A and B are shown apart, each in its own frame.
Chain A
Amino acid sequence: MRRFFTSTARRRCSTKNIAWWDHVLPAPKDPIFCVTEAFHADSSPNKINLGVGAYRDDEGRPVVLQCVREAEARIAGSRFLESNSAAVSSKMVEESVKLVFGQDSDVVNEGRFAGVQALSGTGACRLFAEFQRRFHPESRIYLPDPTWSNHHNIWRDAQVPAKNYHYYHPDSKGLNFSALIDDIKNAPDGSFFLLHPCAHNPTGVDPTEDQWKEISYQCKVKNHFPFFDMAYQGFASGDLEKDAQAIRIFLEDGHLIGCAQSFAKNMGLYEHRVGCLSILCNDSKQGAAVRSQLQQIASAMYGSPPVHGVLLVSTILSNPDMKSLWIEEVKMMLYRIQKMRTTLQESLENLDSPLNWENITKQVGLFFFSGLTPNQVEQLAREFHIYMTRDGRISMSGVTTGNVNYLANAIHEVTRSSKEETKILCNIGA
């Protein structure tokens, strides 16, 4: 091959080569993943990673659920690795949507929905955003303030403009319900609203049942399209059914919702990228049409989702024994998180902290929205080797009986001179 060009030819060629990418600026780091990066770069034995919302056990280790191990053993090497057989796909989708819509849901039994597997929650949201752009090109998405930082990236890259609606009240550290309702009322009719059905990320603040009913009603009056991002089913109360309550309320009120589901956290399948996107339709024919369009969007993005994760989910959800085991394991994960919440709150109270820490146990899900300022967050990293996102969101799964006292002391140190009004930095990465 070398005989095909001389060194002079090479010189000629390379001087003519312009550098295509010199103008490319270094991208800002992802606000969530960079926490883990910083953590890894730290050599302190006391370091704690409170960044990413991935479950860890009390030794701080990632966990493979027993039901997943069993499913892995069952499927290993026993099937050919071609793209999803239709049977496995539709089984997985059906079992997934039953989790959110109900085991006996009419919608599911009558096939009045479009459902496709997706690349976890991110992929499901992105598919929907692209679909929204294609079929409602003038629409925008209303996102709660604050929300998961990647929501803004997703809809932006799908070229759907975003607007915030009030959600978190920094003063009360609870839900800014009246402002939320006002925003729903003031939005143009037929707007698209993204809702966290439980365990809101990053605040851990969820509407009550009554508040959900009111939100549903107001959305109905305005003919809004409700889109649910269900990333933490099971992690709010430990009960999968209970955590789907908001969605059931909307269904009963006759909304034709969209829903993104992730199995990353509640099945511990983070690295397999398994999720589901569903859109309720008037009838099964329309469901088929919508599904065909979603598949087109997916096929121009990545083809089809990886079969391994789909098989795992399908195996677990279709086998009653494995499904029961899974339900128990979700409860156990949540139990540990709740225990850490209680312990952390007690530890801080025992240190005579000037601040009120009841939100640690009031908030739900994986995260504690601490109210720490960016300066305090930075101080925790610098002086105590404790890492969390800049908005003060603490992933409780990084807390263990081994480090909770150290953590409490550190938080106490950086806040002992604080007053009650600590500002919250909302909506990072927007």
Chain B
Amino acid sequence: MRPELTLPTGQASSPTDRRLNALLRHLSSSSSSAMDTNNSISPSPTSAFQHDSVFSHVVQAPEDPILGVTVAYNKDPSPVKLNLGVGAYRTEEGKPLVLNVVRKAEQQLVNDRARVKEYLPIIGLAEFNKLSAKLIFGADSPAIQENRITTVQCLSGTGSLRVGAEFLAKHYHQRTIYIPLPTWGNHPKVFTLAGLSVKTYRYYDPATRGLNFQGLLEDLGSAPAGAIVLLHACAHNPTGVDPTLQQWEQIRQLMRSKKLLPFFDSAYQGFASGSLDADAQSVRMFVADGGECLAAQSYAKNMGLYGERVGALSIVCKTADVAGKVESQLKLVIRPMYSNPPIHGASIVAAILRDRNLYSEWTIELKAMADRIISMRHQLYDALRARGTPGDWSHIIKQIGMFTFTGLNSKQVTFMTKEYHIYMTSDGRISMAGLSSKTVPHLADAIHAAVTRVV
């Protein structure tokens, strides 16, 4: 019989006292354990006081391959090391960039004593949502005017994809999503954990270092009716290979005829060509035909707001009524995930998008970033030509966006890391944003050496 709990009142026992008391109870309870039919474990009096963690079996997770590149880079003491891993913009001086408009907007926020200080609604900052929809779909989009788009603030592109995917897993009749081969490393995990099953469609052609358009059409053509298809709106990650407008039109017709559901991932609007509108053409094309689609937007790159996790998910529906119901169900996905989204980044974005001057300044800064990247492409291409590096390197200037899919194999990549301290992902992807005029020659030397010495 376990003794009644009789600690003296008003007296805080010391930790040692309590441990001893607990141990005593341990001992007396083990003798009565036979009476307790539910207690199949009798704690041994001699066992360690602290029992084993219920998570002892948890193993160390493999490192994210992209972030792992930065980890390795940080460890390298070489003065000529180059980080071409993560897709984060860097200046000519190799520094991260806070856009001037962002600084201005943030200062405005600090000085504005009247702004919202409590929870945002579940779907986030209303003004941000409206402005985000306009940004991607176009201010004159009939779908916006007809109120048949629901837009909800989410945590950057990742969060938008996850919320969209969980909504689909709950409410859509087809649970398979087709993703391009290759695609951003995190896509499969996001969709799988949301409850979708993932299949691939052919996309990149290593022979041409361009689009495998035939393969793409065949694979989408043989997908089951209603399947979800992930499309990179522009600046495909990791390949930089985008369909032409004509090819987009063919894709659109095929998808509509097979009733495939488009899910756009727009992470680089403005970064591909330097024009926000041009980079949204693929999405607008699909919306213009009156059909439905999903679109995930990220402000990580084009506003440099990586750490603030700002993004939006839009679902374009057939009618305003349906959009309203869909929105209500999106709330049920979000509430058990994080209740409501963080305010800071969205406030900055809204401040910039709503103000004509700030918006204009932003487009200029954005174009400058895109132009610098294009300039790096040309410089690298010229440097390889100058060295007479074997092979056709024109894909460097043909590919679009932050990344170049060099075509280098993993052995060559390892060689470049070891001998030249160049850090990049093993699939041969380099982030052009990590280059500067000063470092292009070093990279060109490394590629030249890799191509001529390592097969």
Contact = CB atoms under 8 A, between A and B. Distances in A.
Given A64-B117, A290-B55, A302-B162, A24 B322 contact: yes
A14 B38 contact: no
B56 interface: yes
B257 A303 contact: no
A87 interface: no
B259 interface: yes
Interface string B225-258: 0100000000000000000011001000100110
Interface string A346-361: 0000000000000000
A252 B292 contact: no
A54 B118 contact: yes
Given A22-B322, A286-B58, A307-B308, A271 B339 contact: no
A270 B340 CA distance: 9
**Interface centre among B57, B158, B337, by most A CB within 10 Å?**
B337
Interface string A259-293: 00000100010111100000111100010111011
Interface in A15-41: 16-27, 29-30, 33
B309 A73 contact: no
B57 A303 contact: no
B390 interface: no
Interface footprint category on A = 35 or more
B41 A135 contact: no
B221 interface: no
Contacts of B154: 302
A305 interface: yes
Interface in B149-198: 154-156, 158-159, 162, 166, 171-172, 186, 189-190, 192-193
Contact of B7 (A21, A122, A210): A210
A189 B41 contact: yes
Nearest to B17: A252
A14 B252 CA distance: 12
A256 B306 contact: no
A252 B36 CA distance: 26
Given A82-B306, A154-B336, A290-B58, A270 B118 contact: yes
Q: How many interface residues does chain B have, given as a range?
A: 35 or more
A30 B107 contact: no
A5 B317 contact: no
Interface stretch (B341-349, B350-358, B411-419): B341-349
B54 interface: yes
Contact of B308 (A18, A62, A77, A81): A81
A186 B292 contact: no
Nearest to A153: B336
A220 B43 CA distance: 9
A280 B58 CA distance: 13
Interface stretch (B18-26, B201-209, B398-406, B445-453): B18-26
Contacts of B166: 157
A204 interface: no
A306 B117 contact: no
Nearest to A248: B15
Nearest to B306: A82
Contact of A286 (B56, B289, B306): B56
B18 A252 contact: yes
B25 A82 contact: no
A291 to B, nearest CB: 9
Interface string A60-99: 0011100000001100110011111000000000000000
A24 B173 CA distance: 11
Contact of B289 (A10, A249, A302, A304): A10
Given A81-B102, A300-B162, A302-B159, A292 B60 contact: yes
A213 interface: yes
Interface stretch (A221-229, A314-322, A367-375, A383-391): A221-229
A24 B338 contact: no
A267 B64 CA distance: 33
A213 B53 contact: no
Given A4-B245, A271-B120, A303 B38 contact: no
A289 B192 CA distance: 22
A5 B158 contact: no
B29 interface: yes
Contacts of A157: 166, 333, 336-337
Contacts of A225: 54
A101 to B, nearest CB: 13
B328 interface: yes
A221 B306 CA distance: 47
Nearest to A188: B38
Given A126-B337, A290-B58, A1 B284 contact: yes
Given A1-B245, A135-B55, A293-B58, A63 B289 contact: no
Interface in B313-331: 315, 317-319, 322, 324-326, 328-329, 331
A190 B54 CA distance: 8
Interface in B280-308: 281, 284-285, 288-292, 304-308
Contacts of B259: 16-18
A119 interface: yes
A296 interface: yes
Given A286-B58, A302-B338, A256 B162 contact: no
A309 to B, nearest CB: 6
Closest 6 A-B residue pairs measured CB to CB?
Answer: A307-B307, A119-B338, A302-B155, A153-B336, A14-B290, A271-B343
Given A25-B329, A84-B307, A271-B342, 6 more contacts: A225-B54, A256-B53, A282-B52, A297-B193, A302-B155, A303-B155
Interface of A: 1, 4-5, 10, 13-14, 16-27, 29-30, 33, 52, 54, 62-64, 72-73, 76-77, 80-84, 119-120, 122-123, 126, 130, 135-136, 150, 153-154, 156-158, 185-186, 188-190, 210, 213-214, 217, 220-223, 225, 249, 252-254, 256, 264, 268, 270-273, 279-282, 286, 288-290, 292-293, 295-297, 299-309
